Structure 1
Amino acid sequence: MALSPSDATGPRSTDTRYYDGRSAAAHAATLRWSDAFLAIDGAAGELALWPRARLIVGEPDPQGRVVLSCKGEPGRVSTEAAALPGQMTAPRMQRRQYLGWMAVGAVALVLALVLVERLPAVGAALVPRSVENQLGEMVEVVVVGKHNVCRGGEGQRALEQLEARLAHAAGIAQPVRLVVIDSKVVNAVTLPGARMVVMRGLIEQVGSADQLAGVMAHETGHIARRDPLVALFRGAGIGVISATVGINLGFADVSSLAGRLVSLSYSRDMERLADANGVAYLQASGLRSDGLAGFFARTDKRGGNAGAAVEFLSDHPRTIDREKQNQGSPLGESALTAQQWAAVRTMCGKQ
């Protein structure tokens, strides 16, 4: 049965040789493909007609040639791989291509994961300081809420002076706004725009001014790296970028954004880095740097009752580990004088 011109895709002009299986002679041939058959033509006419469903395609050799055979037929064809229709690929070639695409996909996935991991920090770095300051102002309103702001003059000045030393050591250009609120929660939080909120519960929980300074130095580490913004981008997703930029344009729901930030926590790596940097800031300021470890030890000794209220530690690495990793040094001056510490302790009218 011969193929008519209308049945075939046309001859492929390549270096193709046909072996009939009865002798070692090679016959110059051309291949004509149809949907159902492969016709092998020689100089004197059709040499063979093979059903495509029974074709076997071998692996290409280093010169890019492949061998075709047909189940139940003695002959074989040697031709260039380029002469085959696109779908006529050796199974192992298909597998290699599949594995190749899998490898490409795996690399793309790894790159995507790296990008997702780093994108929050990149996004935070792109936010203008003016926008960050506006966001911080809104978040502060949410954090303070109905709590009274403690305005003890001498205590406030003492904390501001201490924080100014820490911020200078951290290389923070703008002044850090520090607010003490009358809340029993044992915590201190950093907000966008170089803002720190210290709660009465923390002041009452720490055993000394140096322990409070250790916590403040830790929070200063978050401010220096703009961690509040990074946490916002990580927790709220990329969609927050447009909302954040929208602050400048006047159409973003900043209050909703602020509430979302308040509920976020830092990653353990961010916390560990803030611990280490905090100790370094204290040392660079000429202050005792063992206060943070002392605070962790004090909290551990107080056990369950104290621990339940210590929100500062709720999402952080274990205190015993942090104490070991951030011992600091007792060398250096105390963070506050006895008079200043007494003023801080009574800022909220309680002692």
Structure 2
Amino acid sequence: MVAHSEDGAASSAPRGTRYYDGRNAVAHEATLRWSDAFLSILPIGDETAELAVWPRERLTVSEPDPDGQVVMSCKGQPGRLMTDARTLPQQMAARRMRGRHYLGWTAVGVATLAIGVALVVGLPSVGAALVPRSAEARLGDMVETLVVGRHRVCSGADGQHALEQLEARLAQAAKIDEPVRLVVIDSKIVNAVTLPGGRVIIMRGLLDHVNNADQLAGVMAHETGHIARRDPLVSLFRRAGIRAVGATLGFNVGLADASSLAGQLVGLSYSREMERLADANGVAYLQASGLRSDGLAAFFASMEKSADKKSGGTSSSVLEFFSDHPRTVDREKLNRGSSLGDSALTPSQWAAVRAMCGKP
């Protein structure tokens, strides 16, 4: 197994380098070639081919795990790379060390405040608000790598663009400054998951279940409500306590810790108050965006109908939705919204979204 130095010459790699392209969970054994501006990821045995080319200025590097492995990603690209920290060029290692030194001092002060408020005073929402956005984004990136890596990422430029345009309108209404990252994965579960750092994972089961784009927009608006209030981080603090604070702020963010936190994030259930506010705010975001706002209630009604079917039993995907969402008709009644406003997507955009996971 080899990596490549700045001038393209091969150098020894203590452990294997594995590249995940973001489309499936298959790991590609790879070598690395660094230049002044780019990182080239090459398949083993064929150095004339390229699995990916990443601009160095857009690279992010995690802290090493106990075995010295780091996770690398490129902003705007779906792939992830795992390699030994000792394969990094000196400039990359130095940049990572400077970042760690800065975050270490920042984390000491912020963690003290966050732990005191979140765990002693008992207000995890206030503790979460003290966490820097950059630290939250780093945790979200690691969690996304682990969650999405298990599934095929559904592609389609037109569908992805339509979803991102819709989410941008909702985020603007919610006064969210940072871009929201959207990923669609090939999972049968009828759900969408919000991760720290403004990330939403939409599952194929949700696209298959909703009857139209306005129902999907209702769910996306609900998830935007969770992002605006940083609910994933608040819930993680409430569940994991000091370990979540430490991991978020730069302590013990190895793959084992991130994997554990990822599992907790996927299985988190928000409080009824969090869900109520996300519902109400979601409807408000739709209305502020000039969109019809009755899709969320229609989605709840369709889920209730699916769960209450007498014949054929209830699908496991529907049951999994209700395992982490309050099942109550009150949510439908309280969030009926209005049919006034534009449809969330045009027919062609909706068709492109539906086709992302291979279903026209």
Question: In 2, are the aligned partners of 1:293 and 1:323 still within 8 Å (CA)?
Answer: yes
| TM-fit CA distance, 1:113 | 12
Q: Unmatched 5+ residue regions in structure 2? A: 1-115
The match for 1:339 is 348
Distance in 1, Cα, partners of 2:286 & 2:357: 26
| TM-fit CA distance, 1:117 | 7.6
Distance in 1, Cα, partners of 2:256 & 2:304: 43
Aligned residue for 2:201, secondary structure, equals strand
Distance in 1, Cα, partners of 2:327 & 2:315: 11
Query: TM-score scaled by structure 2?
Result: 0.62
| TM-fit CA distance, 1:141 | 1.6
Equivalent of 1:237, from 210, 234, 241? 241
The match for 1:204 is 208
| TM-fit CA distance, 1:176 | 0.2
Equivalent of 1:309, from 312, 317, 323? 317
The match for 2:303 is 299
Deviation digits for residues 77-111 of structure 1, max 9, x if unmatched?
xxxxxxxxxxxxxxxxxxxxxxxxxxxxxxxxxxx
Change (3 A) 1:113 1:128: closer
Question: In 2, are the aligned partners of 1:138 and 1:254 still within 8 Å (CA)?
Answer: yes
Distance in 2, Cα, partners of 1:174 & 1:291: 25
Identical counterparts, % of pairs: 72
Q: Higher mean Cα deviation, 259-268 or 337-346?
A: 259-268
The match for 1:168 is 172
Distance in 2, Cα, partners of 1:252 & 1:307: 33
The match for 2:277 is 273
Deviation digits for residues 122-142 of structure 1, max 9, x if unmatched?
221111111100100111122
The match for 1:330 is 339
Change (3 A) 1:263 1:114: closer
| TM-fit CA distance, 1:209 | 0.3
The match for 1:108 is none
Q: Unmatched 5+ residue regions in structure 1? A: 1-111
Whichever residue aligns with residue 309 of structure 1, its letter is: S
The match for 1:143 is 147
Alignment of 1:1-351 (within 5 A): 118-247=122-251, 253-302=257-306, 303-304=308-309, 305=313, 308-310=316-318, 311-351=320-360
Aligned residue for 1:264, secondary structure, equals coil
Distance in 1, Cα, partners of 2:299 & 2:255: 43
How many residue pairs are counted as aligned between the two chains?
240
| TM-fit CA distance, 1:166 | 0.2
Whichever residue aligns with residue 345 of structure 2, its letter is: L
Change (3 A) 1:203 1:333: same
Whichever residue aligns with residue 174 of structure 1, its letter is: E
| TM-fit CA distance, 1:316 | 2.0
Change (3 A) 1:297 1:133: same
Distance in 1, Cα, partners of 2:118 & 2:141: 32
Whichever residue aligns with residue 358 of structure 2, its letter is: G
Change (3 A) 1:201 1:114: closer
Aligned residue for 1:180, secondary structure, equals strand
Whichever residue aligns with residue 126 of structure 1, its letter is: L
Q: Higher mean Cα deviation, 316-325 or 281-290?
A: 316-325
Whichever residue aligns with residue 332 of structure 1, its letter is: G
Larger radius of gyration: 1
